[in-house]
Amino acid sequence: MMRVAKIAAIGATAVFAALFVGWWQVDGPGADSAPGKRSLPLTAMEFSLTDQDGRDVGPETLIGEPSLVFFGFTYCPDVCPTTLSDISGWLDEIGPDAEDLNTVFITVDPDRDTVETMAEYVSYFHPQIQGWTGLPDQIAAIADSFRATYEKVEGENGEYTMNHTAGVFLFDATGRFVTTIDYHEPREFAVPKIRRAMQNRTERAES
């Protein structure tokens, strides 16, 4: 019995250590603060895109509510559908409060991802998820502001795929960049990060 208790205590310590290291590197003093590596705040961005309903959107569309933003493309074979499924699970766990969270999927493949294509694609995931597209230079500008990267990888017979940043960008209601949620980050880590970002809005509403 004592051996079992000892193993459990070691396991709990390991979990705590992992959580602490993750916080230190992402949200705490160990977070990367080097210029050019963290996303700009939304208030410092200038961009214009089109959502899946054909409406013009920009930074002002996001500021005022906390936001999750993910870059990808509809022809993506694994990372994008997996991440959007993960995001859908996070939103389900957050519950009704998720209606106050801007959740946006921005294409890095505007040549194929038209407004209609984005509308169909995001319909397979949580209804809170929006799909944004635009002209190639517009996509390049917003990716630069987010410090997201992407590149076209040529294949055979004129086919191609896209390499791109796989993390999810999280902002609070003021437009401040909070953190990045990593690809395949466990839900028990991701959801508390989102709730903390949403807390700022709740506190402002109650004040």
Annotated binding-site residue numbers: 76, 80, 164
Q: Which tops the pLDDT comparison, 31 or 154?
A: 154
Between strands 129-132 and 102-107, the pairing is parallel
Query: What CATH number has the domain bearing residue 81?
Result: 3.40.30.10
Residues of the domain holding 112: 34-206
Q: Which of 11-15, 79-83, 136-140 has the lowest mean pLDDT?
A: 11-15
Are 174 and 199 in the same domain? yes
Are 113 and 126 in the same domain? yes
Are 73 and 170 in the same domain? yes
Q: Which tops the pLDDT comparison, 144 or 201?
A: 144
Q: What are the tens digits of pLDDT across the range 38-96?
A: 999 999 999 999 999 999 999 999 999 999 999 999 999 999 999 999 999 999 999 99
Annotated binding-site residue numbers for Cu cation: 76, 80, 164
Region 123-128 average pLDDT = 98
Q: How many domains does the chain have?
A: 2
Are 111 and 65 in the same domain? yes
Largest Cα separation within the chain, whole Å, is: 64
At 201, is the pLDDT very low, low, confident or very high (cuts 50, 70, 90)? low
At 2, is the pLDDT very low, low, confident or very high (cuts 50, 70, 90)? very low
Are 16 and 38 in the same domain? no
Region 168-190 average pLDDT = 96
- What confidence score (pLDDT) does residue 37 get? 73
Residues 6+ apart with CB under 8 A from 153: 160, 161, 162, 163
Residues 6+ apart with CB under 8 A from 82: 183, 184
